[in-house]
Amino acid sequence: MRKLSLAVLAAAFVAAPAIAQDSPTLKKIKDSGTVTIGHRDSSLPFSYYDDKQQVVGYAIDICMHVVDAIKAELKMPNLKVAFNPVTSATRIPLIANGTIDLECGSTTNNVARQQQVGFTNTYFVTANRYVAKKSSNIKSLADLKGKTVVSTAGTTNIKWLTEENAKANMGMSILTAKDHAEAFLMVETGRAVAFFMDDILLYGLVANSKAPGDFMVGSEAYSVEPYGAMMPRDDAGFRKVVDGATAKLYTSPAMAALYDKWFNKPVPPKGIALMVPMSPQLKRVLANPTSSGDPAVYQ
């Protein structure tokens, strides 16, 4: 009888990590003892370095809730977290090749990208706009005809900008920046008249600039951009854990406090509050979590 009990106990012990065996990502995390988070360096307030060179942000806080769920799933309370910096150009390849397990930043979820990577439930909805100096007197896209503009490499924004430039025969000279900070600096120093990017990122860059009053974000919105954290594609076991964790967070009272922390209260490094109220679209998405890449879902 004792032998039977021990056999049952042993079988239960072996079964405990079975979920990890069913998920390549969870197995990799379990075997290495580490979950690797991809992060941005200047996507304020989503994922960036603060004044102490620590990785912080709205997306990072959400991903740490996911990490807690992974710890519970694997029964590994001491699971280590490694942070790996990524850029707009490297983030998708690093997820696809397994270097990072989650990419927590300001990445647009769309149908084309879903052919390469998976996405968590959406945690923000923004729009493609431009920032320019007020002194440039740019009032609309038409005013940028023949001008030099910039966007960040590997983004949906530069893809749209390139296509629109050709379609409308605008004759813009399009510069490519390695990251958002470099692109904004080009406008700041006069190398480019306008920087096309997601509006929430532009508001953050303006707020943290040397002279916020010198800049304006255009009123025209050119596309809907739903943000989610990237994860490996076609890993149902990992997706179950991640989707469960995000849906639980989004539909809890804690989500309103988390949003308020990053969008309505002072954030590092300069202690500036963006004062961006939660949009009706985001409220609807958080109440009914979705990882859809169809922009019509977010209208």
Residue 63 has, within 13 A of its CA and on its CB side, a CA count of 29
Helices 24-32/58-74 angle, 10° precision = 80
Residue 138 scores a pLDDT above 80: yes
CA 183 to CA 175: how far, in whole Å?
A: 9
Which listed CATH number (3.40.50.1000, 3.40.50.970, 3.40.190.10, 3.90.1140.10) goes with 127-223? Answer: 3.40.190.10
Query: Mean pLDDT, to the nearest integer, of 52-65?
Result: 98
pLDDT at 7: 45
* pLDDT band per the 50, 70, 90 thresholds, residue 14: very low
Mean pLDDT of the chain: 93
pLDDT at 226: 97
CA 253 to CA 285: how far, in whole Å?
A: 15
Helices 236-250/253-263 angle, 10° precision = 80
Fold annotation for 18-123+228-298:
D-Maltodextrin-Binding Protein; domain 2 (3.40.190)
CA 156 to CA 4: how far, in whole Å?
A: 59
CATH 3.40.190.10 domain span(s) along the chain: 18-123+228-298, 127-223
Of residues 148 and 19, more confidence is placed in 148
**pTM for the whole thing?**
0.86
pLDDT at 4: 45
